């Protein structure tokens, strides 16, 4: 029997609902239960694919090609359960589905309304694809009280009635702000947030209270009394040093115990959290430090690079070192010498991105890494710029560029118009919509024998997740390989370059895919583990 846990948030945004869901999923897994995590987002976009990273943050990509909310990255990193297209839905997708049915005549002439048609579509999403999972954890995006969230809240209220109280638990994440002048944590915002939730017919059975200090028993009793919740189910969610400490902290506060008690499930044996303790220990007590310069264009909002940040930390965990990141806006190199900012780093990473802005600055960082022998990892756009730099400065192709920047006589990088996906061929044109039209999801690559990447992976065939519209032009392969670049990974049909490296460089790798999307703290991605190991050599730690 599948049980459903709905996680809502109140008082303010960015309280950590996604982390709470991920940590609870990890705790339930540690107790032997099978889980799946889902996210309902209230914005009208079909998906976050066309949203600016500086507004929405990272777009996470699943194996089956869905562009999703970044919280699904937390879900995967904490549980290891691969997210799917059906694990994230937006108001835009729900309304698109409902309106398509109306146009098709599926409602048999009925007046289409939010209740029941939109709420039914939401409930159908919650149920879809459920097989033998013990728990479905469903996070509701936004903050209780937002107009946008109302259809979702109504849908989960109905869903709770449909499956019965014994199979549905409502968890509400709130904030207890500390007021220095009063010298105490304030419970009133939590009370008002629960009241807002009650106004739409949902009584939360468990409150997860974010605070920067322990919550006094008197305040817990007060919250329980005014919010109609058992005192034991007012759970402290205290700030911790690293997000990977959250499962340990929540277990110590009894979060998973109270969830199992609610469903009448046994609390023994205790979950084995030794793996999480080891991860936290390596983060808090490393044996050294390396400095990685990340040259990006969305550094104003670091959540734009959330998975990348975590994957670099995972690389540090694998090597038992702290990874200190220097986030550098690539446009600064338009006016300043890269040496000023890069001379002290032990590794350089240029991540994915779109558009010409900041591209020249990124290429200056690429050239610095190539000429100085500094370990370099280029991801997606970072690989493409490495190829353009090689064409211009080593192969003598002065006009080398990308058609993404405009018409060029030397299209080293060009718009993808056709590629193989399984047994079918995908086609694209420059005039198509931007949303959902990239090369998305998991694709295989074949690695060259004896290459650095085949050694790193310990395999000659890999599968990685992609999100790109432009591709390195294979027609320039001979000219580039003649000056030292190796095309060490290709699509199985040999038409699409997937990985490049330099033969005479300590560690220089560019990949067209996004390896950060598959890295986990308990299973660091091999590219990041190897990159950090190379940075350690650069820093003379080994």
Same fold, 3-278 and 286-414+471-538: yes
Q: Domain 286-414+471-538 is of which CATH architecture?
A: 3-Layer(aba) Sandwich (3.40)
Cβ-count burial 378-402 (b if 16+ within 10 Å, e if not): bbbbbbbbbbbbbbbbbbebeebbb
Instruction: Write down the pLDDT at residue 303.
Output: 82
Query: Domains of the chain: which residue ranges?
Result: 3-278, 286-414+471-538
Burial class (CB in 10 A: 0-12, 13-18, 19+), 72: buried
User: Candidates 3.40.50.300, 3.10.20.30, 1.10.3720.10, 3.90.1200.10; correct CATH number of 3-278?
Assistant: 3.40.50.300
Direct distance between the N- and C-terminal alpha carbons of the chain, in angstroms, rounded to an integer:
52
Confirm if 38 and 57 have CB atoms less than 8 A apart.
no
Instruction: Write down the pLDDT at residue 419.
Output: 44
Closest C-alpha to 532, from 247, 515, 384: 515
Annotated catalytic residues are: 380, 514, 516
Closest C-alpha to 122, from 82, 157, 166, 147: 157
DSSP string, 300-365: TSGGGGHHHHHHHHHHHHHHT-EEEEEEEEGGGGGTS-HHHHHTT-SEEEE----SSTTHHHHHHH
The parts of the chain modelled with pLDDT lower than 50 are 419-420
Beta-carbon count within 10 A of 255 CB: 24
- Angle (deg, nearest 10), helices 188-198 and 217-227: 20
Question: Tokens 């550094």 map to which residue?
Answer: 299
- Angle (deg, nearest 10), helices 306-319 and 526-538: 60
Instruction: Name residues whose C-beta falls within 8 Å of residue 450's C-beta, 6 or more positions apart in sequence.
Output: none
Measured distance CA(26)–CA(21) in Å, rounded: 9
> pLDDT tens digits, residue range 343-396?
999 999 999 888 788 889 999 999 999 999 999 999 999 999 999 999 999 999
């Amino acid at each position: 029997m599948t049980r459903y846990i709905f996680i809502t948030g109140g008082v303010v945004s960015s309280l950590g609902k996604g982390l709470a869901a991920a940590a609870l999923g990890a705790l339930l897994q540690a107790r032997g239960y099978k889980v799946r995590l889902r996210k309902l987002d209230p914005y009208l976009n079909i998906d976050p694919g066309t949203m600016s990273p500086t507004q929405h943050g990272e777009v996470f990509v699943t194996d089956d090609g869905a562009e999703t909310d970044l919280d699904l990255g937390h879900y995967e990193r904490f549980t290891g359960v691969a997210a799917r297209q059906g694990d994230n839905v937006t108001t835009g997708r729900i309304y698109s589905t409902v309106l398509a049915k109306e146009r098709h005549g599926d409602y048999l002439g009925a007046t289409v309304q939010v209740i029941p048609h939109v709420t039914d579509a939401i409930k159908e999403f919650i149920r879809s694809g459920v097989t033998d999972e013990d728990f479905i954890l469903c996070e509701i995006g936004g903050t209780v009280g937002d107009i946008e969230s109302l259809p979702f809240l109504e849908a989960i209220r109905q869903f709770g009635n449909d499956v019965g109280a014994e199979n549905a638990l409502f968890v509400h994440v709130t904030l207890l702000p500390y007021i220095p002048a009063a010298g105490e944590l304030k419970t009133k915002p939590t009370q008002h947030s629960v009241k807002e939730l009650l106004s739409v017919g949902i009584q939360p059975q468990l409150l997860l209270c974010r605070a920067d200090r322990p919550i006094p028993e008197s305040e817990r009793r007060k919250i329980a009394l005014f919010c109609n919740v058992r005192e034991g189910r007012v759970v402290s969610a205290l700030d911790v040093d690293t997000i990977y400490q959250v499962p340990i902290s929540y277990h110590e506060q009894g979060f998973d115990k109270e969830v199992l008690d609610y469903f009448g499930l046994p609390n023994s044996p205790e979950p084995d959290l030794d793996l999480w303790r080891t991860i936290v220990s390596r983060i808090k007590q490393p044996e050294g430090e390396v400095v990685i310069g990340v040259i990006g264009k969305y550094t104003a909002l670091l959540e734009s690079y959330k998975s990348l940040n975590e994957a670099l930390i995972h690389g540090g965990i694998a090597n038992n070192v702290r990874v200190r990141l220097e986030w550098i806006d690539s446009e600064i190199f338009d006016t300043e010498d890269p040496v000023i900012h890069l001379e002290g780093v032990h590794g350089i990473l240029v991540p994915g991105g779109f558009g010409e802005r900041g591209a020249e600055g990124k290429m200056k960082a690429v050239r610095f890494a190539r000429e100085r022998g500094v370990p370099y990892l280029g991801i997606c756009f970072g690989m493409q710029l490495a190829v353009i730099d090689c064409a211009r400065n080593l192969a003598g192709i002065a006009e080398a560029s990308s058609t993404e920047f405009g018409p060029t006589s030397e299209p080293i990088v060009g718009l993808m118009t056709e590629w193989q996906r399984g047994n079918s061929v995908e086609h694209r044109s420059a005039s198509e919509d931007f949303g959902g039209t990239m090369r998305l999801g998991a694709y295989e690559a074949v690695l060259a024998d004896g290459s650095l990447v085949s050694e790193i992976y310990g395999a000659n065939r890999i599968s990685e997740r992609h999100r790109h519209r432009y591709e390195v032009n294979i027609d320039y392969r001979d000219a580039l390989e003649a000056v030292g670049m190796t095309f060490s990974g290709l699509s199985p049909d040999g038409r699409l370059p997937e990985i490049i490296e330099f033969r005479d460089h300590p560690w220089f790798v560019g990949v067209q895919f996004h390896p950060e999307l598959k890295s986990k703290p308990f299973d660091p991605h091999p590219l990041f583990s190897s990159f950090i190991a190379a940075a350690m050599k650069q820093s003379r730690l080994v």
